[in-house]
Structure 1
Amino acid sequence: MKKTIALLAGGYSGEYVVSLKSAAQIEKSIPSDKYTVYKIIITRNGWTYTDASGAAYEIDKNDFSLNISKEKIKFDCVFIAIHGTPGEDGMLQGYFEMLEIPYTTCDSFSSALTFNKSYTNCVVASAGVNVAKSLQLYHDQKVSSQEILSKLKLPVFVKPNNGGSSLGTSKVKLAEELDEAIVKAFKEDDQVLVEEFIKGREFTCGVVKRNGEITVLPVTEIKSSKEFFDFEAKYTPGMTEEITPADIDPETLKVVHQNLKRSYARLNCRGVVRIDFFLEEGSNAFYFLEVNTVPGQTETSLIPQQVAAMGWNISEFYSSLIEEAMR
């Protein structure tokens, strides 16, 4: 018997458009012989399913159900494809936990934790994984650039502490650029992370739990034509060279896999996540950068590229995420 799946897209953040593209890719890839999929767009104005004729139906939030032609539709599983709030920060996860409906991402606590870059760094570091030296700033806290640079050395990254797709992120090389970068980041969030730049090669890698086992996907090296892998570089074809699998020597790759699995386990992740990291120039030391618990699934996104490089079928991969969530 076919399972009924709610595919959630949209959200409240600047990543709304990316989420719609991810959901379009997932929707066409989920095998229709196994699942009936209802794509539900979540905005602040409503949670809406629109059928093929253009008729719109609102979700009953009391039990997360749809009423269509006097039929009450309930869901076996929720596939969350919302980047940013409320799909990546634990809000929807907590809601579905209360309703006891399975979903495909990390649980509410891990989602909330990993949405905060500074807190994530603390937990990952406690597992013995290297993280860059950083300072966390709050909107109501007065800290001068001089004070920051007495603790951190340039260049630094300035980024919203909560959020994704590199929105509001700047690379600062000169002291006089720091204040402007902080103002820009505070437009996206009321907490800001100032983090020392690790000189080296930049990578990203999907990590997934299937059948209770943590698997590392092929690693991708990021070579951006821009100063760093920002929103434009991530979503503009041709701006970034993405090499999958990355050219990493076997011994270093073994260390990379250990650190990725250790980070995934310590953060108590579920489903598929994408972990960004650096290999430091000169030492090849692994430095954790951040984790994305609802990674992009557009046609140009990195997870579909890595799944293909693994030799897996993308439809079977999405099926496995659903089955793992319902297990």
Structure 2
Amino acid sequence: MTLRVTILMGGWGAERAVSLVSAQGIIAACQTLGHHVTPLDMGETPADGTTLAARLTATTPDVIFNALHGTPGEDGVVQGLLDLLRIPYTHSGVTASAIAIDKQLTKAVLAPHGVRAPAGRIIESAGLHHADPLPRPYVLKPFNEGSSVGVAIVTDHSNHGSPIGRDVAGPWQHYATLLAETYIAGRELTVTVLGSGEKARALCVTELRPVSGFYDYDAKYTDGLTIHICPADIPASIAAAACEMSLTAHRVLGCRGVSRSDYRWDESRDDAGLYFIEINTQPGMTPLSLVPEQAKALGIDYPTLVQLLLDDALEAAHVRP
């Protein structure tokens, strides 16, 4: 069935560039599928809701493909507007988005359901220049950004200073508050969950091995800086535990369409060393992104993946165009 699909992309958040790359693949896939496509860039500066609502409704969509990453497209803001406009859209709704964008809140919600995560707390960035918030090594990052934006690992051997110097480059120069977490040594794993409710299923586990350093923004989006091992060469028990935790997170939070959960695994501790780090409700759809890669490993090509997300959006809205 031919659909009128509006691709919502860009935005003014830190992940604008990633969104625009994701959108290009989605546009091409929708055209391959025979849909009528209208790209809509939210722009580089904040827009008022009335203007955005008028631009959206003018495209007369059957469904919105939300290709935004980070704020304001992954935190529930755009989702609330689309709900008010009664336009079906892909990915998670308001509540799941608002919770999942907050890394510390997500951990608190999932902890009673057996999802193990590193200890951490929200801190004032200014306090870092007086004392460490946690024993070193520890991780500092914005609590509401994705794509490893603004992540710093503070160790005894790093050049951050002790305490961290005010003039040292880091996220404390850009964010008034940060999430401080215990650093988990080991391997980087990720799991995609596709579908909604009882139809949701974990696809597989990918291990990410950066050529140098850690899996930061550059390592994610620069070809050749990270080796993807899909499926990961890990014990079956670890793969099963990661998939189970990812499904739990997806369902408890009420995620829709697709999500991707990230983990650190300290293999010296076997199953007890697997830690949930965060969940992404708007995971990337770029040529280097992990969701299309895992889908392909299971025989789901890119256009089919896009169609599955469109179908899920329409089913969630009980729309039959």
TM-score range (shorter-chain normalised) is: 0.7 to 0.9
**Deviant stretches of 4+, over 6 Å:** none
Greater shift after overlay, 36-45 or 78-87?
Answer: 36-45
Q: Distance in 2 between matches of 1:7 and 1:118?
A: 30
Instruction: Decide whether the 8 Å contact of 1:12 with 1:84 is kept in 2.
Output: no
- Partner of residue 153, structure 1: 135
Structure-2 change in CA distance of 1:177 and 1:317 (3 Å)? farther
Correspondence list, 1:285-324, <5 A:
285=272, 286-324=274-312
Q: Which moved more, 1:156-165 or 1:26-35?
A: 26-35
Instruction: Write the distance in 1 (CA, Å) between the matches of 2:132 and 2:284.
Output: 37
Asked if 1:166 corresponds to 2:148, the answer is yes
How far residue 188 of structure 1 moved from its aligned partner, in angstroms, is 4.2
After superposition, residues 1-327 of structure 1 pair within 5 angstroms as 1-30=1-30, 32-45=32-45, 61-62=53-54, 64-66=56-58, 73-138=59-124, 142=127, 145-146=130-131, 148=133, 152-174=134-156, 176=161, 179-180=164-165, 184-209=170-195, 212-284=198-270, 285=272, 286-327=274-315
Q: d(CA) in 2 for partners of 1:212 and 1:74? A: 31
The one-letter code matched in structure 2 to 1:319 is: Q
Structure 1 gap ranges (5+): 48-57, 67-72
Structure whose residues are more often helix by fraction: 2
Secondary structure in 2 matching 1:120: helix
| Rounded Cα–Cα distance in structure 2 between residues aligned with 1:232 and 1:135 | 26
Q: For residue 176 of structure 1, report the CA deviation from its aligned partner.
A: 2.4
- Provide closer, same or farther for how the CA distance between residues 193 and 37 of structure 1 changes in structure 2, counting only shifts above 3 A: same
C-alpha separation in 1, matches of 2:12 and 2:226: 27
Displacement of 1:133: 0.9
Deviation digits for residues 217-253 of structure 1 (CA, Å, limit 9, x no counterpart): 1211011123210111111111111111101222222
Which amino acid letter does the alignment assign opposite residue 155 of structure 2? K
Q: 1:318 to 1:178 in 2, by over 3 A?
A: farther
Paired residues of 2:196 and 2:255 also in contact (CA < 8 A)? no
Contact 1:167 1:188 in 2 (8 A): no
Q: Could you tell me the TM-score, scaled by structure 2's length?
A: 0.88
Once superposed, what is the RMSD of the aligned Cα atoms? 2.4
Contact kept, 8 Å, 1:168 with 1:187, in 2: the verdict is no
Name the CA distance, whole Å, in 1 between partners of 2:104 and 2:260.
17
Amino acid corresponding to residue 84 of structure 1 in structure 2: G
- TM-score, scaled relative to structure 1: 0.86
Cross-structure match for 2:318:
none
Distance 1:82 1:60 in 2: 14
Contact 2:196/2:312 (<8 A) preserved: yes
* Amino acid of the structure 2 residue aligned with 1:146: A
One-letter identity of the residue aligned with 2:201: T
* Rounded Cα–Cα distance in structure 2 between residues aligned with 1:250 and 1:74: 47
**C-alpha offsets along residues 181-232 of structure 1, whole Å, 9 cap, x if unaligned?**
9973244444301111111211112111158511111211011123210111
Q: Look up the SS of the partner of 1:294 in the other structure.
A: coil
- Aligned residue pair count: 307
Residue identity in the other structure for 2:150? G
Q: Structure 1 CA distance, aligned partners of 2:236 and 2:39? A: 42
* Inter-partner Cα distance in structure 1 for 2:124 and 2:290: 32
- Cα deviations by residue, 1:154-195 (Å, 9 ceiling, x for unpaired): 111110111111121111102725635997324444430111
Q: Secondary structure at the match of 2:269?
A: coil
Partner amino acid, structure 1, of 2:308: S
Q: Check whether the contact 2:7–2:23 (CA below 8 A) recurs between aligned residues.
A: yes
Structure 1 residues 99 and 178, CA, compared in 2 at 3 Å: closer, same or farther?
A: farther
Contact map agreement 1:220 1:306 (CA 8 A) in 2? yes
CA contact under 8 A between 1:205 and 1:216: conserved in structure 2? Answer: yes
Higher strand residue share: 1
Q: 2:319: which partner in 1?
A: none
- Distance in 2, matches of 1:232 and 1:6, equals 29
Describe the SS at the equivalent of 1:86. coil
Secondary structure of 1:29's counterpart equals helix
Provide the rounded CA distance (Å) in 1 between the counterparts of 2:215 and 2:60: 40
